[in-house]
């Protein structure tokens, strides 16, 4: 691309899914669109250095969404959860708002895990996966699923006063390493 066709580095803010999701967009709106999915406790701006480079090199548009509860997006409704698979709805909502039947997903860390879940469940929605620090979802053997679910249900319903307390940092680390 010549210098006259280069896209600026300043992103354009977007509001998607009836204002529930915030996003940043780089590139022309008529260019092929990639969705960028950030990591845990991060936001769409984490792509602010990479996106302009890719846009200029590949002639694409990148829309980086803020997952629910991150950046400028709304929090999940009361009583809802922030389970990993719930973020797949954010991706599908963004795709719908942008008129994308299928998308290339550029994803980092938690976003990579979310994109892998979406690609496994709805492969027709995902053209390509580009994963940065993508480890995928944790899994256990099928026979251990009920006990894992039991632990999760009990932990979620435990009153705050019954939360574990540790006498020192070493005990807390040991409990965490042991899965407690």
pLDDT for res 146 = 84
The CATH number, out of the four listed (3.40.50.300, 4.10.95.10, 3.30.70.100, 3.40.50.1820), of the domain defined by the range 3-139: 3.40.50.1820
Please state the rounded mean pLDDT for residues 50-68.
Answer: 98
Q: How confident is the model at residue 177 (pLDDT cuts 50, 70, 90)?
A: confident
Cβ-Cβ contacts under 8 Å for 82 (sequence gap 6 or more): 68, 69, 76
109 in active site: yes
**Domain spans in the chain, listed from the N-terminal domain onward:** 3-139, 141-180
Angle CA(164)–CA(167)–CA(169) in degrees, nearest 5? 90
Cα Rg, the chain, nearest whole Å: 19
pLDDT tens digit string along 27-40? 999 999 999 999 99
Most confident of 35-44, 132-141, 159-168: 35-44
Q: Exactly one of 25, 46, 73, 109 is catalytic; which is it?
A: 109
Question: Is 158 buried (19+), middle (13-18) or exposed (0-12) by CB count in 10 A?
Answer: exposed
Strand, coil or helix: 136: coil
Q: What is the pTM of this model?
A: 0.75
Question: Is 55 buried (19+), middle (13-18) or exposed (0-12) by CB count in 10 A?
Answer: buried
């Amino acid at each position: 691309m010549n210098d006259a066709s280069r896209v600026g580095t300043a992103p354009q803010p977007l509001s998607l899914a009836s204002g529930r999701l915030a996003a940043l967009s780089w590139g022309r709106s008529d260019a092929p669109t990639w969705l960028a999915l950030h990591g845990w406790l991060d936001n769409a701006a984490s792509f602010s250095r990479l996106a302009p480079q890719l846009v200029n090199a590949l002639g694409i548009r990148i829309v980086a969404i803020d997952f629910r509860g991150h950046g400028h997006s709304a929090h999940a409704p009361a009583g809802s959860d922030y389970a990993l698979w719930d973020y797949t709805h954010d991706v599908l909502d963004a795709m719908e708002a942008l008129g994308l039947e299928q998308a290339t997903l550029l994803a980092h860390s938690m976003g990579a895990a979310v994109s892998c879940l979406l690609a496994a469940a709805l492969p027709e929605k995902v053209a390509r996966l580009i994963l940065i620090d993508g480890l995928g979802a944790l899994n256990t053997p099928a026979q251990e699923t009920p006990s894992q679910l039991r632990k999760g249900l009990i932990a979620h319903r435990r009153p705050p006063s019954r939360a574990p307390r540790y006498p020192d940092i070493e005990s807390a680390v040991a409990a965490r390493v042991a899965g407690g």
